Chain A
Amino acid sequence: AQSVTQLGSHVSVSEGALVLLRCNYSSSVPPYLFWYVQYPNQGLQLLLKYTSAATLVKGINGFEAEFKKSETSFHLTKPSAHMSDAAEYFCAVSDKYGNKLVFGAGTILRVKS
């Protein structure tokens, strides 16, 4: 069975500050890992994904995440937050076939001016 734990249901940062959203996973098979973003009243869209190639993955809008097997983590970072980054972020895990994507509970990011 696979599962994801996102630490912190709400994160608040100042504009220009580092964004760090934490995700830990549990998987009995080599995982594929994803970060999705959901803006208000919109569907989820893919930010980035790890599929067993490079452990540091770059995504859209300046976000990146690093797969650390020893820590079973896949934290999402961005060096400098923008107001437009305010949204809810979901970490998710699947097997290599992508049959069943399991989502975390989400982290709401607030960016203060």
Chain B
Amino acid sequence: EAGVVQSPRYKIIEKKQPVAFWCNPISGHNTLYWYRQNLGQGPELLIRYENEEAVDDSQLPKDRFSAERLKGVDSTLKIQPAELGDSAVYLCASSPPLVEGANGELFFGEGSRLTVL
């Protein structure tokens, strides 16, 4: 079974340029997450989708970040314009339907490493 697929793996851009990351979750996983991992830190949640609906985007910097999950499968995370501080690894994860007491495992992609110059 294929895992979570992300692209591109690496991206180098100049500040003020736009950038987009794509994620294809594991088939059947209705919950999709975007995390940001800064150097030397743990991942921090940006946004969580349940199917097509963004149910938690409280940590997404909405002035420059946007995300979409059309048709409840693939997702795209966009930054426009990028700033130096956006340099990080952007991780996508998915999980099967959340059920009380039988949850918790997130399946992560390999990440997209962004460098903003």
Contact = CB atoms under 8 A, between A and B. Distances in A.
A77 interface: no
Range class of the A interface residue count: 20 to 34
A90 B109 CA distance: 16
A24 interface: no
B111 A103 contact: no
Interface residues of B, number: 26
A49 B104 contact: yes
A22 B32 CA distance: 29
Contacts, number: 68
Interface stretch (B42-50, B66-74, B77-85): B42-50
Contact of B108 (A4, A44, A96, A100): A44
Interface string B77-107: 0000000000000010101001011111111
B39 to A, nearest CB: 11
Nearest to B109: A43
Contacts of B111: 43
Contact of A42 (B44, B93, B110): B110
A9 B42 CA distance: 11
Nearest to B58: A100
Interface of A: 4, 9, 32, 34, 41-46, 49, 51-52, 90, 92, 94, 96-106
Closest 9 CB pairs of A and B: A103-B42, A43-B108, A98-B103, A44-B108, A43-B110, A46-B105, A98-B104, A49-B104, A98-B98
